[in-house]
Amino acid sequence: MRTQVAIIGGGPSGLLLAQLLHRRGVDTVVLERRSREYVLGRIRAGVLETGFVDLLTEAGAGSRVSQNGMTHDSVRIAHSAAGFSINLKALTGKHVTIYGQTEVTRDLYDARDACAAPMFHDCAAVRPHDLNSDAPYVTFQHAGKEHRLDCDYVAGCDGFHGICRQQIPEDQRQEFEQTYPFGWLGILSETPPVSHELIYSGSSRGFALCSMRNKNLSRYYIQCPLSDNPDDWPDEIFWDELKRRLPPDVSGGIETGPSIEKSIAPLRSFVCAPMRWGRLFLCGDAAHIVPPTGAKGLNTAASDVHYLCDAFLRFYKTGSTGALEQYSELALSRVWKTQRFSWWMTNLLHRYPDQSRFDIQLQTADLEYLASSQAAQTSFAENYVGLPY
């Protein structure tokens, strides 16, 4: 087999890149090691920047998000018994859209199916070769057979645990990482959301988040120790602890119900540099991870896709490799800005095991400043709705 761009990884970033390129006449083949059902079964982010929604529309996969996505013009920050809203629309002219990653992936699958473009699931032993040459290729096993895919370039969209990042030699690869001493316990429940806004809450008991997937499906999170297991948190205990971390006007309005999904996710900040080596380009979680506090993981992958797609299109239109050579520097510039925002927001709202009274007072002062300063709220809003590409 031969294609122009081999895409390793069939999650949202790989599928989005594939569709954007396909619609502009660039051939792609997508290789995914998991089944389609597994990919669609992953519960992930649900806050989309305007730029991401625009890319979905450009990829021919934007009809359902435009019909079913929930537009949010503001977000609420709560602390102690108080809280305040930040009007994203008034401060930036933009909004965010609530639409689950599972639905994004399903829409991209449908678009891929509609154009009958090649995609292989359940691939084993996927491995790129000769990435620092003019003739890279990818080998993989599928349906019991060995395959070779020759290509011009390889896009590594295979996530944090994928094979692509490891292809960059260790002496040419830098990895920057910070782990956090807590996780997020999240549940999904078939109950109406407590508010039309997302509510981010910091309290003496730890962080909490009230989110949603639609008008009848709520997503709630609380900070918990990394040593905890979801089985340690029966539904009744979870709901009780969640309410303790929210202002009374919020906790009193929560409608509880049985969880239909419950999991604990550790928090990590991670960046790999460079995001390009030879004919290999890293994209999304293969190159960087952010804590979910700022809702930047999927959205930062989308900005990578934007830069990489533009670079490929310029190459295939003009033959110039300039944009491809600049991809890593351009993408990382935005990546580090989203890292900063996610790190700052995580530190603003979580409690740390070794936190001193001084640290807590600084946290309180930061929250009070955000509540009282339009300049601070504008900075928050600009980052939350998404920095320009």
Q: Given the residues 109, 137, 153, 384, select the one marked as catalytic.
A: 384
Q: Given the residues 137, 153, 200, 327, select the one marked as catalytic.
A: 200
Mark residue 386 as left, alpha or beta (left: phi above 0; alpha: psi -120 to 50; beta: remaining): left
d(CA 328, CA 165): 13
Q: Is 34 helix (H, G, I), strand (E, B) or coil?
A: coil
Q: Which of 247, 241, 220 is nearest to 79 (CA)?
A: 247
Give catalytic status of residue 200 as yes or no.
yes
Give catalytic status of residue 145 as yes or no.
no
d(CA 206, CA 244): 10
Give catalytic status of residue 266 as yes or no.
no
Secondary structure (DSSP) of 252-315: TTPPP--EEEEEEEEEEEEEEE-SEETTEEE-GGGTEE--GGGS-HHHHHHHHHHHHHHHHHHH
d(CA 177, CA 118): 35
Q: Given the residues 95, 292, 307, 327, select the one marked as catalytic.
A: 292
Helix (H) or strand (E) holding 320: none
d(CA 4, CA 11): 19
Give catalytic status of residue 137 as yes or no.
no
For 351-388, b/e burial (b = at least 16 CB within 10 A) is bbeeeeeeeeeebeebbeebbeeeeebeebbbbbbbbe
- Give the side-chain half-sphere CA count within 13 A for 56: 29
Mark residue 32 as left, alpha or beta (left: phi above 0; alpha: psi -120 to 50; beta: remaining): beta
Q: Given the residues 22, 72, 79, 95, select the one marked as catalytic.
A: 72
Computed on alpha carbons and rounded to an integer, the radius of gyration of the chain in Å comes to: 21
Give catalytic status of residue 274 as yes or no.
no
Q: Which residues contact 270 (CB under 8 A, 6 or more apart)?
A: 160, 175, 176, 177, 178, 288, 289
Q: Given the residues 22, 79, 288, 296, select the one marked as catalytic.
A: 296
Residues annotated as part of the active site: 72, 200, 292, 296, 384
